[in-house]
Every structure is written in C-alpha cells, then in structure tokens.
Amino acid sequence: MNISVNQLQGSVPVTVLGVEGDLDASNYQELIARAKEAYDAGTCHILLDLSQTRFISSSGLVAIHSIALMLRGERPLDLEQGWSALHAVAGGLGAGRQPGLKFLNPQPRVNRALAIAGLDEAFEIYIDQSAAIASWAA
C-alpha cells in the first residue's frame, strides 16, 4: 500500500490521503499514523481517496473509525484490543454524519465493505474531488 498526502484549499484547508492498494492488517496502522501526522500538523478535514483501493479488511475499517475519532478530538481505538476494536466500529460513531472525514470514490468492493459495516451512513461519499473539497464550509 502507498499513501499520498496532499493539501488542498477550499473554504477550509483539506488534507487528501490517497490510499493505493489493499488496506488490511499488514498496513492499517500506517494509515492511522499518516492521519495522525496530518492531525498533529493542524488538519481538521481529511478526504480519504479510495479510488485506488481494491480491498479493505476489518482492520482497514478500524483505521477509518480511529481517524474519525481522532478528528473529533477523541482517543483513537486501542488497537491491541483486537476484536473489541472492530465491534466499536459498529456502534462507536453515534448518530449522524462525521464532519471531519469524508470518502472519495471508493471502488465497488470497498463500497460494499463500508456499507456492510454501516460506515456509508456515517460518512459522506463523493465521486468528484472538487465537490468533496467544496463540501466543507468555513
């Protein structure tokens, strides 16, 4: 997996994390670390570009949940807790859309995994990068 990081300016600054390749147990912590670097540098808005991601495992879903929690100012999941971390994904985001993290163009297999986990209801999904960037208002 490769992760690209780009800063784009809309009404607010947005960090685009582009994931190329599978997002699974072998690399999900790398995605969390890159998001944490962006968060520590001051980003409040992350667009996760999944257009080059062919597969996402349960570990990848935990990474997404952890990033969302981080952007809300909450403690990310304890990754050492294994399955309990995955169970937290299902009920841990609460009602409503998550404002700090949005998805760009998830591939069909990834989109299915997001839907099965209920994450398609918690996050805005865009197929156009410009529309996604413009969706955050100052």
Closest CA to 132 of 6, 3, 5, 10: 10
Weakest-pLDDT range from 5-19, 96-110, 123-137: 96-110
pLDDT (tens digit, 9 = 90+) per residue, 88-119?
A: 555 555 556 788 999 999 999 999 999 988 88
Is 80 exceeded by the pLDDT of residue 86? Answer: no
Torsion of CA 22, 27, 32, 36, to 10 degrees: -120
The answer to whether the pTM exceeds 0.85 is yes
Side-chain-side CA neighbours of residue 27 (13 Å): 14
Statement: 2-134 belongs to CATH 3.30.750.24: yes
Question: For the chain, give me the number of helices (H) and strands (E)?
Answer: 6, 5
Surface-to-core class of residue 28, CB atoms within 10 Å of its CB (0-12 exposed, 13-18 middle, 19+ buried): buried
**SS3 track for 24-62:** CCCCHHHHHHHHHHHHHCCCCCEEEEEEECCCECHHHHH
Give the rounded percent of residues in the chain with a pLDDT score beyond 90: 67
